[in-house]
Amino acid sequence: MRYEPVIGLEVHAQLQTRTKLFCGCRTTFGLDPNTQTCPVCLGLPGALPVINEKAVELAIRTGLALHCTIRRLNRFARKNYFYPDLPKGYQISQYEEPICEHGWLEVSVNGTWKRVRIRRAHLEEDAGKTIHMEHVTSSLVDLNRAGTPLLEIVTEPDLQSSEEVVAYLKALRDILRYLDVCDGNMEQGSLRCEPNLSLRPVGSSQLGTKVELKNINSFKFVKDAIDYEIARQTRVLEEGGTIQQETRLWDWDRGKTVVMRGKEEAHDYRYFPDPDLVPVHVSEDWIAQVEATLPELPQARQRRLMTQYGLPEYDASVLTSERALADYFEACVALFPDAKTVSHFVMGELLREVKQTGGSVEASPVTPAHLAELLKLVESGVISLKVARELFPELYATGKSPAQVVEEKGLQQISDEGMLRSWIEEVLRTNPNQVAQYCRGKETVLGFFVGQVMKASGGKANPQKVNELLRQVLAAWKEA
Amino acid sequence: MRLSEAEVEHVGALARLALTPDEKEAFRLQLSRILTYMDELRVVNTDGITPMSGMRTNENVFRSDEPQEAFPQEQALANAPDSQDGYFRVPKILRDR
Amino acid sequence: MSLVKLTLRELQERFTRGEVSAFEIVRAYYLRISLVEAKVKAYVTVNDKETVFAEAQALDKELKAWRKTLPLMAMPVAIKDNICTAGMRTTCGSRMLEGYVPPYDATVVQALRAQRCVIIGKTNLDEFAMGSSTEHSAFGPTRNPWKLSHVPGGSSGGSAAAVAADECVAALGSDTGGSIRQPAACCGVVGLKPTYGRVSRYGLVAFASSLDQIGPITKDVMDAAILLNILAGRDPRDSTSADVPVPDFTRAFKKKDVKKLKIGVPVEYFGEGLDAEVREAVQAALEVLEQLGGELQEVSLPHTNVAVATYYLLATAEASSNLARYDGVKYGLRSKHHQDLLEMYCRTRQEGFGPEVKRRIMLGTFALSRGYYEAYYAKAQAVRTLITQDFDTAFQSVDFLITPVMPTPAFRLGEKLDDPLQMYLADIYTLSASLAGIPAIAIPCGFSRQGLPIGIQFMGRPFEEETILRAARAYELATQWRQKRPPIREK
């Protein structure tokens, strides 16, 4: 029997608010332990939560971008369980009444578009961090993260391969970044993904037993963990076994999933409405206001870049993977309309520098205006394309204007006919054999002459002009 | 409603209470009696009645996204039964969440 | 007359006129505490005497230069020990928090401190405010100043006893199902539970969040209004605190009668189980109110008989979750007997909580657990709606309601300790106002033949504290009950 995987995804996205969901502590990552806490997020006796309006707004923003219905009357519930990084002994979440429902996201997998249904997205607070150490009888708890706002985005089981999952996750991350909702950093845990996966015989409409996967903190691990789990479950079924409903952790070290340790008592979270919070009513006006501020989303922008600028799909998808990058590209094209050339520079030189220096596109010292200026220098023959490429790292490092640097370093191309002719004649004189070959009809030596002339000029000669003049001079010599 | 010993144990486990055998039996009897008394709620007709989860004093009470001063680390840990290197310290967790 | 016998208003007037200094006030109260506290045991913690004396002297010095006083300035107020006081331990009457020192003040404590009021001590209570007798305190019971063999009521028994025994001029209590009104009635003092949302809960250690309210326990109705003026108001740190205007509540006393007011007498509150002496006292009070110009009218609150069941399901469910934070990780007790985390949790909570708290956590956990949520918790929520609707209907035809506070006067220590259900039934007349979130005040209306105080309850429309304050004050002035003092002997 052949089996096919049925995969659904739960994604926890940390919302980019300045402060926590229910208190004014900052959400900054990587600070000293327990330095971002207050009575509310420490769960001190008597402290009470008050919801951060911005977090609700970001949830609405995401919901609209994912074509969800936005719930008008929102209530919060307590999810009760004990864990050291959960200071109140309950997590404030939304249970039966998520703020966003029934949406979808289209993803492109191997050139075909697939619509993934979003079941729900709801607001909840994050837990702190527990550090477990080997060979020690205690664990350590840091509550800095406790209370950070999360949006949990849950799909229907519409995905069928690790490629689809990764494509969905990337598309979702791009959208969240476009919206300024989440920085999408999987390694730092601001985007966390928990797939659930089951197998069923091909053609069957019944769902098999579901396994949940946790501890996945990069796109690579998503793919690896799902591929591993599909193979594992297939093997179990083929050997006549049955799949246990369980949660498995991805052990990246060993490259396999392992069962999460002992859950002897079935979970009973005893959800009930949190009496400390009042309902959040999302009005038509509020939704309209948020909608008015939504940016053009990556997929729409990608399609537009392809039609408007004639870019290939690959270029358009790279450029739109990040809002700042697409903004950069379009700002530059507005000043220098050769989209293809701009796109090559942005995808090549700019992204390389950004990556190498660990910077960001927004903060690029080479502004779109600088890049346009640089490309204009190439267009007008002042410098060669090669020089422009070579110059880019320095421009990025210094932030100076390209014209100024070209001027300072004397990099202008030499197009003066007199100069060029004297170099050409010198080269032809010193290479009589090659001239003879040319005269016998071997045109390929032309490249050799160009190279020699460039060398003689110290790289500054305008190669196009050199080419042109060489032909003229050689033609004259041939006649003579 | 009469509670069984197993139910009392289950509820005690959910609530993280290490009950003694005497307590278990006492709670079983007392809670059974109290719950039997509470069964009188069943005769109240609540069809179509919206449950009241709290007083509706108001709605849309928000906090603006402005950072407030946090506790210094020593204060966060001041009441902790055990701490180490700026962390709360707890006995080893033998089970995952 | 001794300073400690004065009401807040009287003491305040003398202080404002400069007839008595802050130092003299606090000295008189510390003296009184030293003479009666050993018998009454109203306090868990009495504030450090030297510190308080020094503060009082500093205040006197400032005032010599510029005599401008505030309503609570220099007034020795006691605070129930489930309201957080920065730097002063807040135990909730529990082993769990025996040494817990909060790093922040409750909003109401901030308000008192802004008045330069003297926080004289933290009063005893049933553990985490769960009880009706103050016997469920981990630090021993408080005694009823009228009869030391009897309970002071609860859970704010320490606050009520402290006011009755002149160990403070006024006190703060918290009321979840009657915890201000019932001990006030037991101790012959005034206890006001404001409308839910009227006073900030920030810093009140939660028992049942949808029911808890802080309120004053005072020597008379005037004092309750003076304190409420300071306590009331919207607090941005409490989402459930109401954004409604706060009047000057003492202005309610301009009218010294109840003319043109319709007084509802709910039949369900005068049925079986009501002690004859209590019935007589309340009926006599109704006649006085009639003489004061009120128009009595019988009304019905048909769901009164299910209020106890409703309340104890909802309150314990919320409590089971509110008390989950006491896990030995961040503060409070941690058991020494454990091998791993799970055992640490279970033993900490086993050792830290007393039997009543455990019982309620068990009950509440059960009511929320899978398979029982609908039949118990959700059902109780629906009945709560019906109870609230009963009041809405009654208030369409009357301006306020009169009922007993308790079915009997204060009972003997230990009398109901072994029978939790009987203890719960003692709250039968106070629970409904909590469930409906309406304001209610308990004031003395007589004494039993044994010499124990009897209380009467005025319940009003939401945010109409002024109406019940006016009526209660009119009744208080027309009677002499407040003149009687507990027969407690100074040692």
- Note the pLDDT tens digit of each residue in A335-375: 999 999 999 999 999 999 998 988 889 899 999 999 999 99
Q: Give the separation between CA C23 and CA C74, rounded to whole angstroms.
A: 8
Specify the pLDDT at position C300.
97
**Domains in chain B, start-ordered, CATH in brackets?**
5-43 (1.10.20)
CB C256 within 8 A of CB C477: yes
ipTM of the complex: 0.96
* Same domain assignment for residues A123 and A13: yes
The answer to whether residue C109 neighbours chain A at the CB level (below 8 Å) is no
Give me the residue from C306, C309, C363 closest to B31, CB to CB.
Answer: C363
Of C379, C396, C420, the one marking the end of a domain is C379
Alpha-helical (H) ranges within chain B are: 5-14, 21-38, 73-77
Domain span at C268 = 3-302+388-483
- pLDDT at residue A472 in the model: 86
Q: In this structure, are C308 and C449 located in the same domain?
A: no
- Closest CA relative to residue A91, chosen from A41, A36, A31: A41
Q: Say if strands C118-123 and A211-214 run parallel, antiparallel, or are unpaired.
A: unpaired
Task: Give Cα A3 to chain centroid, integer Å.
Answer: 32
- % of residues, chain A, pLDDT over 70: 99
Sheet with A129-132: list strands edge to edge.
Answer: A129-132, A138-142, B87-91, B83-84
**Phi, psi dihedral angles at A116 (to 5 degrees):** -105, 125
Q: Are residues A122 and A252 in the same domain?
A: yes
Total domains present in chain C: 2
Does A291 fall in a domain?
A: no
* A131 within a domain of the structure (yes/no): yes
Q: Check if C473 contacts A (Cβ < 8 Å).
A: no
Is C491 in the active site? no
Is there a single domain that holds both residue A275 and residue A422? no
Which chain B residues are within 8 Å of A278, Cβ to Cβ? Answer: 54, 56-61
Are both A246 and A338 inside the same structural domain? no
Domain residues for the domain of A194 are: 3-286
For C75-110, the DSSP string reads -EEEEETTB-BTTB---TT-GGGTT---SS--HHHH
Phi, psi of A282 (to 5 degrees): -95, 110
B33 min Cα distance to partner chain C (Å): 8
For residues C450 and C483, the answer to whether their CB atoms sit within 8 Å is no
For C191, half-sphere exposure in the C-beta direction (CA atoms, 13 angstrom radius) is: 41
pLDDT single digits (tens) A110-149: 878 899 999 999 999 999 999 987 778 899 999 999 999 9
The reply to whether C256 falls in a domain is yes
Does A105 reside within a domain?
A: yes
Surface-to-core class of residue C50, CB atoms within 10 Å of its CB (0-12 exposed, 13-18 middle, 19+ buried): exposed
Please indicate, yes or no, whether residues A116 and A22 belong to a single structural domain of this protein. Answer: yes
- Which residues from chain A sit within 8 angstroms of residue C365, using beta carbons? 270
Segment A170-214, tens digit of pLDDT:
999 999 999 999 999 998 899 999 999 999 999 888 888 999 999
Query: Is position A66 within any domain?
Result: yes
Query: Where would I find the H helices in C324-378?
Result: 341-352, 355-368
Q: Which of B54, B61, B88 sits opposite A275 (nearest CB)?
A: B54
pLDDT of residue A205: 85
CA angle B21, B27, B28 (to 5 degrees): 90
The answer to whether C189 contacts chain A (CB < 8 Å) is: no
**Angle formed at CA C361 by CA C359 and CA C362, multiple of 5 degrees:** 65
Decide which of A381, A409, A437 is a domain's last residue.
Answer: A409
Number of structural domains chain A divides into:
3
- Our CA-based measurement puts residue B8 at a distance from the nearest CA of chain A, in whole angstroms, of 14
| Domain shared by A125 and A248, yes or no | yes
What pLDDT is stored for residue A341 in this prediction?
92
Whether residue A276 sits in one domain with residue A378:
no
Please tell me the distance in Å from C92's CA to the nearest CA on chain A: 10
Say if residue A404's pLDDT is above 50: yes
Measured distance CA(A455)–CA(A469) in Å, rounded: 16
- Angle subtended by helix axes A432-439 and A417-430, to nearest 10: 100
Which of C101, C324, C420 lies closest to B30 in CB terms? C420
> Regarding predicted confidence, which is higher, C351 or A263?
C351
**Are A282 and A372 within one domain?**
no
Q: Are C308 and C298 in the same domain?
A: no
Q: What is the mean pLDDT of chain B?
A: 92
Q: Are residues A280 and A315 in the same domain?
A: no
How distant, in Å, are the alpha carbons of A164, A342, A372, C356 from that of A334? 35, 10, 9, 74
B82: closest chain C residue by CA: C329
The last residue of a domain, from among A223, A254, A286: A286
Residue C375 sits in the same domain as residue C270: no
Nearest C-alpha in B relative to C241: B57
Q: Is C83 on the interface with A (CB under 8 A)?
A: yes
C-interface mutation test, from B2, B5, B11, B45, most C Cβ less than 10 A away: B11
Residue A468 has pLDDT above 70, yes or no: yes
B29 inside 8 A of chain C by CB: no
Q: Is residue A80 part of a domain?
A: yes
Long-range contacts of C422-425 (CB under 8 A, 24+ apart): C423/C131, C423/C132, C423/C133, C424/B34, C424/C132, C424/C308, C424/C312, C425/C273, C425/C308
The answer to whether position C416 is within a domain reads yes
pLDDT in tens, A268-300: 999 999 999 999 999 999 999 999 999 988 888
pLDDT in the model for residue C323: 98
Interchain CB contact of A317 with B (< 8 Å) = no
Residue with tokens 């100076």: A400
Residue among C21, C41, C80, C122 flagged as catalytic: C80
Give the best residue of A37, A38, A44 to mutate against chain C (max C CB count within 10 A): A44
Same domain as C279, residue C374: no
CB of B60 within 8 Å of a chain A CB? The answer is: yes
C64 and C86, same structural domain?
yes
Question: Is residue B71 within 8 Å of A38, Cβ to Cβ?
Answer: yes
Helix (H, G, I), strand (E, B) or coil at C155: coil
Check pLDDT > 80 for residue A452.
yes
Q: Is the pLDDT of residue A264 over 50?
A: no
Is residue C371 located within the same domain as residue C401? no
Query: Does residue A213 contact residue A257 with C-beta atoms inside 8 Å?
Result: yes
Quick one: closest CA in C to A91, which residue?
C321
Instruction: Give yes or no: residues C269 and C314 share one domain.
Output: no
> B90, C379: Cβ pair inside 8 Å?
no
pTM for the model stands at 0.89
Q: Contact C104/A139, CB-based, under 8 Å?
A: no
Same domain, A400 and A473: no
Q: Does the beta carbon of C199 lie under 8 angstroms from any beta carbon of chain A? A: no
In a domain, C490, yes or no: no
Same domain, residue pair C269 and C357 = no
- Any domain includes C464: yes
Q: Is C179 a catalytic residue?
A: yes
| Inter-chain CB proximity A46 and C204 less than 8 Å | yes
Confidence of residue B97 (pLDDT cuts 50, 70, 90): very low
C262 and C358 belong to one structural domain: no
Q: Does C240 touch chain A (CB under 8 A)?
A: yes
* B58 neighbourhood in chain A, CB within 8 Å: 278
Contact C448, B58 (CB under 8 A): no
Cα A426 off chain centre by = 54
A244 touches chain B (CB under 8 A): no
What band does A464 get if pLDDT is binned at 50, 70 and 90? Answer: confident
Q: Which of C21, C155, C241, C320 is flagged as catalytic?
A: C155
Instruction: Identify whether residues A395 and A450 lie together within a single domain.
Output: no
CB contact B50 to C (< 8 Å):
yes
Is a pLDDT exceeding 80 seen at residue A421? yes
> What does the pLDDT profile of chain C (491 residues) look like in tens digits?
589 999 999 999 999 999 999 999 999 999 999 999 999 999 999 999 999 999 999 999 998 877 788 999 999 999 999 999 999 999 999 999 999 999 999 999 999 999 999 999 999 999 999 999 999 999 999 999 999 999 999 999 999 999 999 999 999 999 999 999 999 999 999 999 999 999 999 999 999 999 999 999 999 999 999 999 999 999 999 999 999 999 999 999 999 999 999 999 999 999 988 999 999 999 999 999 999 999 999 999 999 999 999 999 999 999 999 999 999 999 999 999 998 999 999 999 999 999 999 999 999 999 999 999 999 999 999 999 999 999 999 999 999 999 999 999 999 999 988 888 888 888 999 999 999 999 999 999 999 999 999 999 999 999 999 999 999 999 999 999 989 999 888 76
Would A344 be classed as within a structural domain? yes
User: Do the Cβ atoms of C20 and C2 come closer than 8 Å?
Assistant: no
Q: Taking 60 as the threshold, does the pLDDT of residue B53 lie above it? A: yes
Distance from the Cα of A308 to chain B's closest Cα (Å) equals 39
Decide if A278 contacts C239 (C-beta within 8 A).
yes
Same domain, A309 and A235: no
Residue C240 included in any domain: yes
Note whether residue C24 is domain-resident.
yes
Could you tell me if C100 and C45 lie in one domain?
yes
For residue A465, the domain's CATH number is: 1.10.10.410
Q: How wide is the angle at C-alpha C472 spanned by C-alphas C471 and C478, nearest 5°? A: 90
- At C142, which CATH number? 3.90.1300.10
Does B29 have pLDDT greater than 70? Answer: yes
Which of these three, C317, C348, C379, is where a domain ends?
Answer: C379
Indicate the residue of C350, C376, C385 with minimum beta-carbon distance to B49: C385
Q: Which residue among C94, C179, C320, C432 is the active-site one?
A: C179
pLDDT bracket for residue A266 (50, 70, 90): low
Boundary residue ending a domain (A229, A264, A286): A286
Interchain pair A272, C377: CB under 8 A: yes
Q: At residue A471, does pLDDT exceed 90?
A: no
- pLDDT classification of B42: cutoffs 50, 70, 90: very high
Same domain for C312 and C293, yes or no, is no
Examine the domain organization and report whether C321 and C220 are in the same domain: no
Question: Best of C325, C341, C361, C379 to disrupt the A interface by mutation (most A CBs within 10 Å)?
Answer: C325
User: Which residue of A39, A42, A278 is in closest CB contact with C240?
Assistant: A278
Q: So what's the pLDDT on residue C426?
A: 86
Give helix A298-309 / helix A323-335 axis angle, nearest 10°: 20
Q: Look at residue A313 and tell me if it is in a domain.
A: yes
